Structure formats: structure tokens, C-alpha cells
Structure 1
Amino acid sequence: MVRALSFVVVVSLVLSATFPAALAASVSANGSAAVATASAGEAPQVNAPDDPEEDVIGWENGYWYNESIDVDQSDGLSEAETEAFVARSMARVEYLREAEFNQTVPVEVISRDEYRNSSGSESTNTTEFDHWNDQVWEALFIVGESTGSSSALGETTGSSVAGYYSPVDDEIKVITDDPDTPTVNNATLVHELVHALQDQRYDLTDAAYRADTQDGELAVDGVVEGEANYIEARYSQRCGDEWSCVKPAESGGSGSGADFNLGVYLTIFNPYSDGPVYVADVVEERGWDGFERRFRNPPNSTEQVIHVTDEEPVPIAFNSTARDGWQTYSSLGENGSDTAGEASIYAMFWYQAREYGADTVNPSGLFETTSEYDAYNYDAAPSAGWGNDRVFPYHNGTGEDAGHGYVWVTEWDTESDATEFRETYVRILDAHDVEETEEGYYEIPDGSFADTFAIEQNGTRVTVVNGPDAAAVSDIRPSLSPTNATTTTREPTETETTAADDTATREPTETEPTTTADPTTSETPTGAETTTTGAGFGFAVAALAVALAGLLARFR
């Protein structure tokens, strides 16, 4: 399978200059995102010191990090101006990062049309992957059936990429709307130069910087994009007072509204927001040597990045018990599953509150940050306490007439965390006018998220099953069928109990596909409370979802 585009290795989305303003305007919330943007500076001119006898940190190709250069990009950059701009920027990245480039980084300017034409991913399994990925984003209640994940991702990212570093070509590509008079944004250049330095030091094509799940990808990007945004912010802080910086080209602006899916954008923006805070914490506590050790062994969940913790996800074992033709996509993801993770679950709650008025989280809480490096706050009660999750998309048949559904298994640190997640999730269903059937299922009657759902809480585990109708839900996960378990109202009391889910315990028949992972997982303790509600929920955001480019398509 092809997992299109990693933020880290394939293309680097430079979102910090575009997303915060658009999102803040769209949400109309009080407060502002603390994202650094490099501005034109009027610092005193500094004459070039003598060149060193050998290459040193803070000096590159004839330019010191603190010297002034004669560059004016109001009418586009000449070749000589570009060389000076890039060389001094490399010196500044070296100075801030306290590390040396091994070689000069080429910078090529390309048009946005050229970028769009070259960024389509190639896969012999595209249709199957799209169906699998659609279910992940639909489970998260971020992309509904009327749009499709590929379309939503393309629309969200297609106009926001300012540049990227290609570790295959060892080159930075800056995207511009007018290649005849090329201009380069300070922040974009510095950000991508950090990725070039990372590649020279660690090799970004190494398997350590790839993951099989969405949450894993976002976690890795927490250090890769986090370091780039951290250095970018420290650079921006010096522009104007301490350093003279090349003035940006005039721009007509893009308006105050957002014409993309804010839920998708908030999900993929997490590494650019919480990553710099994570990096700053490691550097301040352990220095750059300590960060280097962490970079070589990156975090494996967004929970670790959001909360700056080493807490490991709880293993989840799963056996499919589906019948009547329903089966998983065993060749995709991690044994057919994806992991949404805490960042994506928060994005789900935020998006549903903002777009549909769901009583989940306060949308303005997104702006309640505590660090100078933090753009947004991804920490909220119903998504905190995450222990792990696995989303299993299902299909029945092939082609356009196939049926689709999913099982989403989530684990939480405490039973209280699990209850809070379940109750908040159910309020998403309420926002879509969910109806309870006589059999105990819950149905969203119309709209892009119209489907049938069943939910079961068993101690610290909450399982959601989704399908096109009640029969499908029953066939996808027979043990969660209301006919096999006591169904409660959406506000269960402490005394309400039901039959436990047979997840990872029921032996499948010969006709039932089996998907297992982490078989060491312990089962739910005997006597743990089990609450089942017929309602559903969108689940695990699939493949790191930014189908931006096949520039470095990764084959799994």
C-alpha cells in the first residue's frame, strides 16, 4: 500500500503563516495564536566580519549569521540575491541549532501549478485505500460520505503548502504563484533549511521517521516539524531588533475566511503547534545533546507530544468476529487498522462543536495556550486520558456498491476517562438528531454522517461499531448487537451493567477473518462495569492523511 505523504519525510507543510490567521478569523474567538512569523526588520546594518579560515557554525558560503545583505525581493529575487539569502539563512540556522551543515542546500522555485501537477500519489491500490481511509475520517466525524477523504485532504492542503524539502533530491522547493519574479518567505526558508539539516544529520528516509498509523506519523512529526517550527520561532524573535531580515514581498492576502475543512487542518497541524513546545521542553531540560537522543528515538503517540510524557500506549488485541461477508482491509494500515490518537480525537470534538454545535468542547479553548511556542491547545478533558485506540474499517463486497462500516476500539487510563469520552461522543450523535430504534440501535437519519451505531463501554474500554443499517452493525460485531447486550440510555447510571464485549476473546469461525496485534494485552478485568449504548461515532483518522504528494510515496 502507499501511505501518501509524510509531513516529515515527503513534504513539509509550512502552515504556521497561513492556518492560524484563517482559523482564528473563522472561529471568531477572542485571543490569538502564538505562532511566530518572520517579519521585515530594521535592525542596524552589520558589516561582514572577516571570513574564517575554515567552516564554522554560524558562517556559510561567505556569509555570517549576523551580517546584513543587500537583497530586495519587491521585484523578485535574482540568482545572486537568492544565493546570499540562502547562505545567510543557513548560517542563522546553524547558529540557532548549534550544528553545522555538511553541504550547501540547493533551493529551487516552482509554480503552484507545477507543484499541483507533480504531487499526485501513485498507487495500484488507490481505490481500496481511499475506501479504507474514508472510514477512518468518517469515524472521526470530520469528513462525511458526501465529500470523501481524498478530496477533503486535497482541498485542505493544496493551497497551503509554501515549500518543502525533498530528502530524495536533497533540495528545497519553494512554491510561488509567480515563478517569473520568485520570492521566498523568511519563515519558509528557515523552516525547510532545518529539515535539510535534519536530513544531513539523521537521514529522514530512515524507517525511524515513518509509522504505520496516523497517530504514529503525527507523533514522529512532533519532533521533525517541532524542531523546524522551534528554530523558525527563535529566528523570528530576532528579526527587527537583533537581526536585519529580508522584507517579504507584497501580498494581496487570502481573505479572512477558511475555505477548507477545519477539522482536517486542525488534525494535521498538531505537530506544528505542540511539536515546538515539546522540543523546547527537551532542549531546555537536556540541551541539544538530549534532544538529539530523542530525535533518534521519536515519540510514538501524540499523547506523548501534547503532554510531554513518556507514557506508552496500552496494547490492544482484537479478533474480528464479523459474518455474512463483512471483512477488514487486512493489507492496509497496521493489520487492517489505524490509530487516531489523542490529537485527532480532540480535533473531532472541536470540529463537531464548531461546525455542528455539539456540546463537546469549548471551541475558544483552542486558543488557551501557555507556551510562547504553542499555536493551539489540544488538551481537553474528553480526549485526555487516552490510552490507545484502533480503528478497523470494514467492507462488504467491492466497487461502488460495496457496504462500509467500522469497529473503533478505544482504551482509556481510567474508567472515568472512558465514561467522559463515551458521553461526549454521544453528544456528537445528539447534534446530528440521532434516533433510537426499537431494537436499541441509534441512527442518524440523514446528512453526510447518516448511519447506524452501537456503543459499548466495558471498564476502561469503549467500543464503537458503525454500519449502514442495524443488520450491518450486528453482522460487523455480533457481540455488540442490542439483542446480545442490555442497552442503556445516553446517560447511564453507575449501576447499569451489560454483557461484556468479547473483543479478543471469542474464537472466530473458519469463515471469519482474524486480525490480531499485541496479543499480550490483558482482557477487561472480571467484574468491570460494562455499559452499552446504541450510538455510533466516527473513528480513527486513517493514514496520516495528507495526500499531498507522492514525492516520496512510501510503500508498506
Structure 2
Amino acid sequence: MVDVGSMRLRLLLLAVLAGVAAGVVLSTVLQEPSEYERRVLELVDEAREAIRSVRGLSVPSGVDVHVVTREWVVETWGKPSASGEEAEAEEAVYKLLLLVGEDFNITELKLKWTGMFVAASLGGDLYVVREYFDPGSSEAFEVVVHELMHVVQGEFFKVPEVESYDERCAISALVEGDAGFTARLCARRGEPAEAVAVEVKASWPEVEGDEDAVIELYMFPYRFGEAFVAELYKAGGWTLVNEAYRRLPVSAEQVMHPGKYLSGEEPAVVSESTWSLGWPVVKRDRMGEYFILVLLLRWLPEEEARAAAEGWGGDLLVLYSVSGGYAVSWDVEWDTPADAVEFYAAFNDVCSRAGGRLIDVGVWAIRGRYVAVRLCGTRVSILAAPELPAQWRRSGLLPGYIGAALHIEA
């Protein structure tokens, strides 16, 4: 059996990338079909028939195949999305919450990630990267099926744009999981689909440094998506998988724990924190269980990190603009007070392992800023900022932290 997991480390749902016109003929496409192109086209024809047979859906006609280079991919797809206000805000969140160090550069990472693409679909066309895609390899057929499935998805299913990072993770997992599971079944035609579905398992992230941490965030759809779709298939066949495009998963938690999707368990709506900051808001977001898992894995042993990430109930992150940079507040709701206590302890452990200096209960001085962690019932509230706001001393919102503020100012 082909293990396509390693190949999927180099794949990304490119439909979210802007600025590339659909159907454009690239300068790197050869004028006359080469042997390489001929073999790619043969794979496309084989994949078309396999998708129709296995998935019951037809690949639209008129899919053009473009042979491109890694350099073209980085220049055309990578650079437009690797910098700008959105990338800057993403980097700020990662640094403020201690996912990465101060030297981490999001632009460099995004360009590196884009440079790993093997194949992609965009605008109804198929793109293969000459340096990486070998049409004679054992993985090639599954890669082509995977990417053609994205063309099929664009034809048959309309996926809306959503606001939160967590919800985007969930929808991407459905899209990538459907493509991956279909590719697996196409490669194993003749075997009972139900038996193949039983074999599909999620793969857990491995985090050993800054780049690993961020890449693992990007990897969520590929690590958990196929197992999620396989669970839907076991529960209701392609009918239930197709229905998922109409009743989309709304959180990474639902994907990681498919029973929560099937039972309709959704995240709690988390109200904005009572930190009383008054800073200009850059963005609001929901980060989700998987983000918490990767964040904890960056610093803690796997067993401890996984246990502390479970029981997530919802969250609200707010990124603020402050003088000379950013601040972030993050309110995380948990299913039970015990879950909240576990995460509270784990995040304080993260602060310690990241080099923080404890200056009062739940208040850390670290990397030229302050991180405050508050526990109240089922909620853990975190604030990371360049300075402790003066209103903390007046509001009474942080009993136990007032002394810390006075101590720092002294």
C-alpha cells in the first residue's frame, strides 16, 4: 500500500491563495507534450475514471495540466502571501503566546512551506512541480487523484469563507480529508471501502522547534482530515460525507473527535475578557483545541500536552495594537473546572520553560513583556503585553496581581 502521508507533508489547499488568475498558460509549460507531460496526462485520465468509480462524482472536462518549477511556485504563490499585515499579525500572535521565539520570521517560513509543494489545483486546473513530482513514482497516482478531487469539490460543493482560524482548520480538514480518503480508496480499488476506512488513523503532530510548531499548525488538515472523513464514511457512506459540506464542521475539536461532530456538539461562544484594556483591536479570532495542543507540545511532554489540551470548550483571542507592537488577550473556556485547572498549570509551565521569571501568582516577566494567567471557574484568561496597564491596579479585576504591578514599577 502507498503511504501518502509523507507526500501530504508537501501539499496545501491552494484555493485560499489570491492573485493567481485561473487558467493562465505558464511560460514554463512546454509547447509540445514531452514524455514527462504524457505520463502526467495518462495519470490524469486514470484518476478521472477512478474518482468516478469510487467517489461517484465526475471530474469536470477542460482541466488543464501545468508543469511548473519550484521557483515559479515560490514567486507566484509564496511571496504574495508571505508578508503584509495578515502575516505580521500571525507572527505577533505566535510570539506573544510563546509558540515561537523572538527571532522567528513568518515570511521565511511561509516561503519555505510554499517551496515544498509537489502538486496543486487552482482555478480548475492541475499544477505539478517538476522538481518534486515524479509521474513514475508509487505515490504519483494518489497525488493526482487528491488534486483532481479538489477540482471536483469546487464543482459540486460550495464552501463558504469563515472568519475564525479554528473553523478554517475544520473546513480544510474536511476538504483535504475527502481528497485523501478518496485517493486512498482509488489506489486500493477492489478492496472493501469499509475495511480500508477502519485502517485510517490520525497522525499526531511532532514539535521540536519554532519552524516545526508553525508547520504543524499548517499540517492539521492532513494529519486529522482523512481520519475524520473515514469516520463519516463508516457512519453513513458517501451520503454523510457529502452532507458534511452542507453541515460543515465548525471546530478542530469536531475533526479531532468526530463523535462531537456527529452529535452536534459545538464550541461555546466566549465573551470578551474583562481586562479593561482600551487598546485598539487588530483582530478577533478563535484558535481551537489543535492550536492549544501544538502550543503545549512546543514545550511540554506529549502525554502532558495532549491531556491538557482536551476538554477545550471554546476561546476568544483578541490582538491589540500597542505602542511599538502588539498585545494579546486570550480567554479559553473548558468543559469542567478540572480541565481549566489542568490548562492553567500547563500554560504556567510553558511560561517557565520558555525562560519566564515568576513575579507574582500567574504573572511572568518574559522576553521583554509580561504574561498574566488568570483562572476563574471554567475559564483561563491570558494576557501578554509589553507593559502592565495602569488600570489593572484600579479595576480590581486581577486580585493577587496588584502587588506584581507595584513590584515591577518599583
Q: TM-score, normalised by structure 2?
A: 0.77
Q: Contact 2:121–2:127 (CA<8 Å) still a contact in 1? A: yes
Please say if 1:313 is aligned against 2:279: no
In structure 2, list runs of 5 or more residues that go unmatched.
Answer: 11-33, 192-206
Question: In structure 2, what is the equivalent of residue 218 of structure 1?
Answer: 169
Q: Contact 2:59–2:148 (CA<8 Å) still a contact in 1? A: no
Please say if 1:138 is aligned against 2:95: yes
The structure with more radius of gyration: 1
How far apart are the structure 2 equivalents of 1:459 and 1:266? 31
Change (3 A) 1:77 1:440: same
Question: In structure 2, what is the equivalent of residue 340 of structure 1?
Answer: 287
Cα distance, 1:416 vs. partner?
0.8
Q: Contact 2:94–2:100 (CA<8 Å) still a contact in 1? A: yes
Q: Contact 1:412–1:461 (CA<8 Å) still a contact in 2? A: yes
**Deviation digits for residues 164-192 of structure 1 (CA, Å, limit 9, x no counterpart):** 111xx31011112289x987822321110
Name the aligned partner's letter for residue 294 of structure 1. Answer: A
Change (3 A) 1:286 1:19: closer
Please say if 1:295 is aligned against 2:284: no
Give matches, 1:385-534, under 5 Å: 385-397=311-323, 402-437=324-359, 441-444=363-366, 446=367, 450-471=368-389, 474=392, 479-480=397-398, 482-484=400-402
How far apart are the structure 2 equivalents of 1:472 and 1:269? 40
Q: Contact 1:386–1:411 (CA<8 Å) still a contact in 2? A: yes
**Deviation digits for residues 296-350 of structure 1 (CA, Å, limit 9, x no counterpart):** 2210100000000131110112167555x73211xxxxxx211111111111111
Question: In structure 1, what is the equivalent of residue 131 of structure 2?
Answer: 177
Question: In structure 2, what is the equivalent of residue 99 of structure 1?
Answer: 57
Give matches, 1:3-22, under 5 Å: 16-18=5-7
Please say if 1:283 is aligned against 2:233: yes
**Deviation digits for residues 118-152 of structure 1 (CA, Å, limit 9, x no counterpart):** 014658xx644334222322244323332233333
Secondary structure in 1 aligned to 2:99?
coil
Identity of aligned residues (%): 22
Change (3 A) 1:286 1:422: same
Cα distance, 1:485 vs. partner?
8.7
Q: Contact 2:357–2:365 (CA<8 Å) still a contact in 1? A: yes
**Deviation digits for residues 513-553 of structure 1 (CA, Å, limit 9, x no counterpart):** xxxxxxxxxxxxxxxxxxxxx9xxxxxxxxxxxxxxxxxxx
Cα distance, 1:237 vs. partner?
3.9
**Deviation digits for residues 360-416 of structure 1 (CA, Å, limit 9, x no counterpart):** 4349xxxxxxxxxxxxxxx9211111111111111224xxxx132110111111111
How far apart are the structure 1 equivalents of 2:218 and 2:279? 31
The number of aligned residues is 359
Please say if 1:189 is aligned against 2:130: no
Question: In structure 2, what is the equivalent of residue 3 of structure 1?
Answer: none
How far apart are the structure 2 equivalents of 1:461 and 1:440? 14
Name the aligned partner's letter for residue 144 of structure 2. Answer: L
Secondary structure in 2 aligned to 1:174?
strand
How far apart are the structure 2 equivalents of 1:160 and 1:290? 33
Moved more, 127-136 or 86-95: 127-136
Secondary structure in 2 aligned to 1:452?
strand
Q: Contact 2:9–2:219 (CA<8 Å) still a contact in 1? A: no
Cα distance, 1:429 vs. partner?
1.2
Question: In structure 1, what is the equivalent of residue 211 of structure 2?
Answer: 261
How far apart are the structure 1 equivalents of 2:208 and 2:379? 36
Q: TM-score, normalised by structure 1?
A: 0.58
Question: In structure 2, what is the equivalent of residue 326 of structure 1?
Answer: 279
In structure 1, list runs of 5 or more residues that go unmatched.
Answer: 1-13, 22-75, 241-256, 330-335, 354-359, 364-378, 488-533, 535-556
